[in-house]
Every structure is written in structure tokens, then in C-alpha cells.
Amino acid sequence: MSDEAPLEVAPPDISSHRGAGPIPYLHRLPARDGAPGPHAVISAIVHGDEPCGAVVLDRLLRADFRPSRGALTLIFGNPEAYRRTGPGARLGVRAAVEDLNRLWGPEVLTAPVRSPEHARAKALAPEIATADALLDLHSMIGDGPAMILAGREAKGLALARRLGAPRDIVMDFGHADGVRMRDFGRFADPTDPATALLVECGPHYRARTVACAVETAARFLAALDMLPEDGAVLPRPPAPAAAQRVLEVTHRTTPETQAFRFVEDFQGGECIPRAGTVVAHDGTDAVATPYDGCVLIMPTPNAAPGRTAVRFAREVRT
């Protein structure tokens, strides 16, 4: 998102949601009547500059929301980075020290604490490990379409289809520089029913991104039969406007130089018709599409070496 793009969403003040429990900014909401059911988690601001999920969690907490069964845990992932962004900021703080969404591998979680984000991941991991389903709400730099990142397993695809929207379901394998929360523990085990989805709701600070986050939270809870019928806080979502499509990520581009640049201002979701089309340069090396009909997933301008700059995907029939 450029510096000139409209600032349509003011990040909410979440200071009142710190809570009194042992883990700050984590709230467990049981069903009012104690009806048994799954344990679901909705996480937000894993990156401090992505406020759409904070709007959702702020709304639920201020309304004293309760699921219709089971228990719902709400997590503000990186409140320190979010706090550093400040009200009215156009370009926020993604992380205080390191990316919280790359710290969920077992070897990292068992290592000595090395950063505020690492300490936060270690504190949150036992709670998230008990979840039957996780929805991790994000937003993105580009102005591309919202998408569900469902991982590589069939169970992720099945839950994404139960949501019904956003339209694009991306079957992906994460990043080279660390494990995401979406791929933590049981979520990546094909023999375990626990399932997680990461939803990129749209560009940072846009009203349509917040609307997508609110609707996606409602769809997630409805898919788990946890959404109250009254619709007082989260309205029951409408029928999807379009059939979903599945995009399978086949390649990811990780820059080797500081001079990685795209040849155009790609926003994400572009379908490049011909194989061999150059879309970026990494120093003196050209980065080209590997096949016809290649879809660009979340291109990141000026990506640093070792970080994902773009993923290539193709539509698959399932």
C-alpha cells in the first residue's frame, strides 16, 4: 500500500483489553450456558501494522460476546508492535524485533528467549496448542483480493470451503524463514483434526478489509456451529457471492540480494498468461513465471534477502 493510499481505518485503542489473566491480551470466552463444543481461537495483530483483526476482537470484547457452544479464545498477538504504530499511523510497525509469525517451529519455541516476539510466542503456544480450530486474521501491503491461506493438508481446504468466502483458497507451504502460527503443531499434522486458517483480508487500513475480517470471523464461527443465532454482534453471513477457487502454490521466490525489484507494481492475484514472463529481477538474475496461467500471490516490494517476495500458484480442480 503506497503512502498516498487512503487511510480509511483508525486502529482501535486496545489498552482496555490487556486483561488480568496470566497472559496479557488473551481472553477465553465460554458459552453462556456451558454448552459443550470445540475450542476455537481467533488471533489478530500478529503483525502490529495489520489492524483489521483488532477491530473484530475489540468489537467482540466490548459487546461481551459469547459463542453458542464450546469456548472462544481471542488473542491480540503482538500488542507491543501495535502500540508502537500509534493512532492515525499510515505505515505501522510490523514487529518490535522479529516477525511473530515465523516463530512457531518446535526448535524455536523450546529455545531460550531472544526477543519480545519470541517470549510472546512461547507464552501463547500452550493455549493455542489446545485449539480445535484457529482463525488468524491478517492484512497485506498490496491491493489484491482477500484470500484464505489453508496450508497443504486436505483438512485446511475442507474448513476453507465450509467458510465459503473469501473466494480464493491458497494451498501453500509457508515461508523459508520460519514456521507460521497457522502451521504450528497439530495444525500441520494430517492425522490430527485440529485445523487452522490464515486469512489475508485485504490491504492495510481499508474499510473493505475490516468488513472482510468481520464477515470472516462470522463465517468461521458459523462453520463450527458456534455463531449465536441472534446476530447481535456478528451478523450471520450471506451466501457467498462467487464460487471459491483453489490456488496451489508451487514455487516461492526468496531474494538473495538487496536489489530485488519487480518489473511492475504488482498488487497480488494477477494471472500471468505465459510461462517465462519476467516479473522481477534479483540483482542481475531474472525471476520468471514457471508455467502458463501463473497467479502471483502477495508480491512484497523490496523484500529483504531470505524473506518471501512472491509465491507462484496455479488454479487446481478439486
pLDDT in the model for residue 9: 80
Q: Which three cell numbers stand for residue 2?
A: 503506497
- Within 10 A of 119 (CB to CB), how many other CB atoms are there? 12
Domain co-membership, 276 together with 197? no
Query: How many CA atoms lie within 13 Å of 309's alpha carbon, on the beta-carbon side?
Result: 24
43 and 119 part of one domain: yes
Give dist(CA 18, CA 274) in Å, integer: 51
Place of cell 512472491: 310
Closest to 206 in 3D by CA, of 97, 54, 72, 51 = 51
| CATH number of the domain to which 78 belongs | 3.40.630.10
Q: Is 55:214 a contact under the CB 8 Å cutoff?
A: yes
**Interatomic CA distance for residues 234 and 93, integer angstroms:** 29
Whether residue 144 lies inside any domain: the answer is yes
Evaluate whether residue 304 is within a structural domain: yes
Q: Is residue 234 part of a domain?
A: no
Q: Which residue has the cell 485446511?
A: 156
Buried b / exposed e over 231-268, threshold 16 CB at 10 Å, is eebbeebeeeeeebebbbbbebbbbeeeebebeeebbb
258 and 138 share a domain? no
Tell whether 184 and 311 lie within a shared domain.
no
pTM for the predicted model, two decimal places: 0.94
Same domain (yes/no): 67, 182: yes
Q: How far apart are CA 287 and CA 281, in angstroms?
A: 6
In a domain, 232, yes or no: no
**Beta carbons of 42 and 53 less than 8 angstroms apart:** yes
SS (H, E, C) 118-183: HHHHHHHHHHHCCCCEEEEEEEECCCCCCEEECCCCHHHHHHHHHHCCCCEEEECCCECCEECHHH
Which amino acid is located at 292 in the chain? D
Kindly state whether residue 229 falls inside one of the protein's structural domains. no
Strands 195-203 and 133-140: parallel
Looking at residue 302, its pLDDT comes to 85
Determine the pLDDT at residue 6: 59
Give 27's strand partners.
74
Does residue 210 share a domain with residue 281?
no
| Complete DSSP assignment for 290-306 | SSTTEEEE---TTPPTT
| Residue finishing a domain among 223, 240, 262 | 223
The domain in which residue 275 lies consists of 249-316
Q: What is the structure's pLDDT at 127?
A: 97
> Which of 208, 223, 238 is at the close of a domain?
223
Q: Are residues 277 and 155 in the same domain?
A: no
Q: Establish if 6 belongs to a structural domain.
A: no
Q: 177 and 259: one domain?
A: no
Instruction: Give pLDDT, residue 287.
Output: 97
Give the span between the Cα atoms of 209 and 10, in whole angstroms: 12
For residues 213 and 260, membership in a common domain is answered with no
Whether residue 309 lies inside any domain: the answer is yes
Q: Which residues pair with 316 in a beta bridge?
A: 246
Whether residue 204 is found in the same domain as residue 311: no
Q: Are residues 104 and 201 in the same domain?
A: yes
Give the pairing type, strands 245-253 and 310-316. Answer: antiparallel
| Total domain count, the chain | 2
Domain boundary among 189, 223, 257: 223
pLDDT score of 5:
54
Q: Which residues of the chain have pLDDT under 70?
A: 1-7, 86-91
pLDDT at 318: 72
Radius of gyration of the chain (CA): 19
Same domain, 112 and 182: yes
Residue 203 within a domain: yes
Task: Provide the CATH number for the domain around residue 279.
Answer: 2.40.50.630
